[in-house]
Structure 1
Amino acid sequence: MDYEKPGPVEENWRDAISSIEEIIDDARNGRMFILVDHEDRENEGDLVIPAQMATPEAINFMATHGRGLICLSMPGHRIDALGLPLMSTNNASRHETAFTVSIEAREGVTTGISAYDRARTVAVAIDPTKTGADIATPGHIFPLRARDGGVLVRAGHTEAAVDISRLAGLNPSGVICEIMKDDGEMARLPDLIAFAQKHNLKIGTISDLIAYRRRHDNLVRETAQRSVTSAHGGEWMMRVFTDQTQGAEHVVLSMGDLTDPAPVLTRMHAMNPLEDVLGIGEGHAGDLQGAMKLIAAEGRGVVVLLRDTAMKLDLDEGGSPQILRQYGLGAQILAALGLHELTLVTNSPTPRVVGLDAYGLHIAGTRPIPKE
């Protein structure tokens, strides 16, 4: 593949974004592409190629021009088949990226760091006929565990690489590498457009991929509905949504007319029995009850009780705004309720949520939870 042949020059940076259909077609044909979160000037980007197509030439291009860490995104079942433990069981990284221990092909490599050796390691790792016995640790390839459900669960490059490879009819795994500038700073969208034009690569967005998958996949469905009375706010409509990835049931409590276009008070609450039932915890005990009482006082709003503690739209109290990715099932539930404009009930700063617009949702603001 000739990555040195310049591509077309786009005058408007928005015109430089390709459709997901075009990205999938390039993936199917073994072409590398760039993925960003959204059409935003401050976005960083990753080089991505389906792992099945990761030749030594492609690995060398990533190392030479991308300059970031070269990683291998794989679905959880393949990670488990290889017996790869997570690098850390207590993931405190900013984006909660699920790194496993690094790997090397046990046979057919020398030092392991060459482009040929890393391509060989990738090929062995994704080969369904190979097992953990064919892999050595540590090594020079860094596997990433993609969440089941892909970008509809976590809006990350890890999941996007797996999703696009699967949609292209290839092995559901991808090799990704962050793109840095010559000075070592991360490349932003204007830099990425120039990079893409120089090397004749397409740029796609995770937000568009989420929208594409929403047109074809639905990971949540409503399985029960009834009216309930709570000590925290009185009468609520309770709905149960079941997600198709793990079979978990998520409870939604709603009050008032949700069809009104005005922003809806919304509490996205990751269930924690110690805090929510026993009142144990620093800062967050009582947040659920406080949010319910606030919504009841307003007479209109929604509380979504998520069974997965990673799926939340708030941070520790006093934390700084950050990019959130692991919210997809909650966003699908809100979309299923017909919501569009949200006022988050939280004591955290307003987060930037990757791909939220793909669900037709917008965070209009926040409301703090009163402390008793």
Structure 2
Amino acid sequence: MFDSIEEALQDLKLGKPIIVVDDEDRENEGDLIAITDFMSEETINFMITHARGLVCAPISHALNDTLGLLPMTMNNQDPNKTAFTISIDHKDTTTGISAKERFMTVKALADNNVTLAQFNQPGHIFPLIAQQGGVLKRKGHTEACVDLAKLSGASETGVICEIIKDDGTMARRDDLVIYKENHDLKMITIDAIIDYIKSTKPLVTREAKVRMPTDFGTFQMYGYKEIYSDKEHVAYVKPYKGIPHIRIHSECLTGDVFHSKRCDCGKQLEEAMQHIDKHGGILLYLRQEGRGIGLINKLKAYEKIEAGMDTVEANHALGFGSDLRDYAVAASMLRDLGVHKVELLTNNPRKIDGLKRYGIEVIERIPHQFQSVDENKDYLETKKQKLGHLLKENLI
């Protein structure tokens, strides 16, 4: 049904539009997307004739810093917060509505020397400002278009248009498959763009490297900051030969610092530090408290557990998935450290799948389980039964 990002980028560079589909629980629609640097007047005409939606021109936040386009409204009530600006026409257009004149307007947006003085307002092209961070910050067609432009090596702008059926209703996924075949177009999802960026582009910057003596040995400690957020993570590295032993540990204030017996996190961290000191390798410490829901929500989940729920049911009762963690940042940190193959200390198959998803090869899984205590037996049993953790019954 869907094509690869590489195939989509190839068509975009040839000037062809592609179909980009968002989540079924979001707008649940497909947009035609084209990149302004490569497209032609015929592309606009195809959108008007065969897609029938509103022709919009996504631009990057940086491009609008130069242009200074103002929001269409100061009180954006759109549930998806689509960032419309006041519409525009190029000053050399007449009515501005024809395919030729709309193309003239969007083409001007891709000019490196573009200024607001080149446009009249209002007009017939609707610029949309993409959020900084692109689809990693907002899973919208606006951000998808700008990210695809960047991935194509083009100016940070493009054109999008919603696909509407002959009867006037929105084309949904099954309709889009037929549309794709009828018009010989590539089709991708926003989720696929996200995965592609996470697998191929740096997600962190290395900010510091220091010698760090600890109770478990002396390590090199690397400090990282996420490019698209304020989150900070660290890596503890011990010299190694061959394929390194790797432990990915998600922050657990209650377990790591205060030695809570509700979980096994503190024990796992200490044993991992000892293991890596002995064998060499890397421990990644990620700020993903409470399986990604945060400290306060984790404590609220504990309240639910005290009322009789298990750890998965508690997350669901609070409106969260059972495990919100993502390992793209871990993969990016490993790539920065020159690591592409690992032997992973884990009981969690999702960590293995998470690293593989973002291009890190897991050569071997090293079990990382320790004897339970009375206070965390139920927690560990739930992890085994509901989250698929590879735990031995005799240690629970």
- TM-score of the superposition, structure 1-length normalised? 0.62
Aligned to 1:134: 118
Distance, in Å, in 1 between the alignment partners of 2:99 and 2:164 is 19
Distance, in Å, in 2 between the alignment partners of 1:143 and 1:54 is 17
Q: Structure 1 residues 222 and 293, CA, compared in 2 at 3 Å: closer, same or farther?
A: farther
Aligned to 2:106: 122
Structure-to-structure mapping, 1:36-185, within 5 angstroms = 36-37=21-22, 43-106=28-91, 108-185=92-169
Q: Which amino acid aligns with 1:212?
A: Y
Task: State the shift of 1:294 in Å.
Answer: 3.4
Distance, in Å, in 1 between the alignment partners of 2:87 and 2:325 is 30
Q: Which amino acid aligns with 2:116?
A: G
- Match of 1:52, SS state, is coil
For the pair 1:25 / 2:32, whether they are aligned, the reply is no
Task: State the shift of 1:332 in Å.
Answer: 5.2
Q: Which amino acid aligns with 1:244?
A: I
Contact persistence 2:84–2:126 (CA under 8 A): yes
Please provide the CA RMSD for this pair: 4.3
Structure-to-structure mapping, 1:127-276, within 5 angstroms = 127-220=111-204, 242-245=225-228, 248-249=230-231, 254=252, 255=255, 256-257=263-264, 265-266=290-291, 268=293
- Match of 1:57, SS state, is helix
Q: Structure 1 residues 23 and 329, CA, compared in 2 at 3 Å: closer, same or farther?
A: farther
Task: State the shift of 1:249 in Å.
Answer: 4.3
Higher helix share: 2
Question: Can you list the C-alpha shifts for 1:167-223, whole angstroms capped at 9, x where unaligned?
Answer: 122222210001010111110122111111111111111111111111112324687
Distance, in Å, in 2 between the alignment partners of 1:109 and 1:79 is 22
- Match of 2:19, SS state, is strand
Higher strand share: 1
Q: Structure 1 residues 249 and 43, CA, compared in 2 at 3 Å: closer, same or farther?
A: closer
Q: Which has the higher contact order (CA 8 A, sep 6+)?
A: 1
Q: Which amino acid aligns with 1:81?
A: T
Distance, in Å, in 2 between the alignment partners of 1:146 and 1:268 is 26
Q: Rg larger in 1 or in 2? A: 2
Q: Which amino acid aligns with 1:115?
A: A
Contact persistence 1:153–1:329 (CA under 8 A): no
- TM-score of the superposition, structure 2-length normalised? 0.58
Structure 2 alignment gaps of length 5 or more: 213-222, 234-249, 256-262, 269-288, 334-345, 352-356, 360-385, 388-396
- Match of 1:53, SS state, is coil
Distance, in Å, in 2 between the alignment partners of 1:289 and 1:109 is 56
Q: Structure 1 residues 87 and 359, CA, compared in 2 at 3 Å: closer, same or farther?
A: farther
Task: State the shift of 1:72 in Å.
Answer: 0.5
Q: Structure 1 residues 39 and 100, CA, compared in 2 at 3 Å: closer, same or farther?
A: closer
Structure 1 alignment gaps of length 5 or more: 1-15, 227-239, 270-287, 302-312, 322-327, 343-357, 366-372
Figure out how many residues of one structure are paired with residues of the other and give that number.
276
Q: Percent identity at matched positions?
A: 39
Contact persistence 1:146–1:158 (CA under 8 A): yes
Moved more, 76-85 or 149-158: 149-158
Aligned to 2:299: 292
